[in-house]
Amino acid sequence: MDTMNILKRGDVYRSIEVRQQRGDKTGYYVVVSREYVTSTPRIRMVMCAPIYSERLGVATEILVDERNGIDHPSSLRCDFIMTLRKEALTRRVGALDHEQMRLLRPAIVAAFGLDEDVG
């Protein structure tokens, strides 16, 4: 299946790509790129937030679990947003629900410090 035509923000994917940041393991990721990026075939990369088993309880994470296609309670980590090749996202396992999507923007804003005063 060609994932490049069906990626959507908030979708949860399993990746076959081994990442050094994950201890040289594969993992689960949530697509956080905007629709233009996810739906444009000539753009080969998307921004994704990794999912980790550990839950820290910080403003930059969103809790996920079985309803999102993850087999145990985990957290999406906006502090570690990274780019992945679209073709590395090999198996869609679920999606964020409406409430989790509502929490995504403030988690990204906090992760990038966009809510801090510049001065």
74-96 tens-digit pLDDT: 999 999 999 999 999 989 999 99
pLDDT, tens digit, 9 for 90 and up, residues 4-16: 458 999 999 998 7
**Residue 92: beta bridge partners?**
13
pTM: 0.87
pLDDT 10s digits, 98-115:
999 999 999 999 999 987
Give residues with Cβ within 8 angstroms of 40, minimum separation 6.
none
∠53-68-88 over CA atoms, to 5°?
A: 75
| Tens-digit pLDDT profile for residues 40-76 | 999 999 999 999 998 999 999 999 999 999 999 999 9
Supply 108's token pair. 């990204």
pLDDT of residue 115: 78
Size of the chain in residues: 119
CATH says 3-111 is which class?
Answer: mainly beta
Domain range annotation of the chain: 3-111
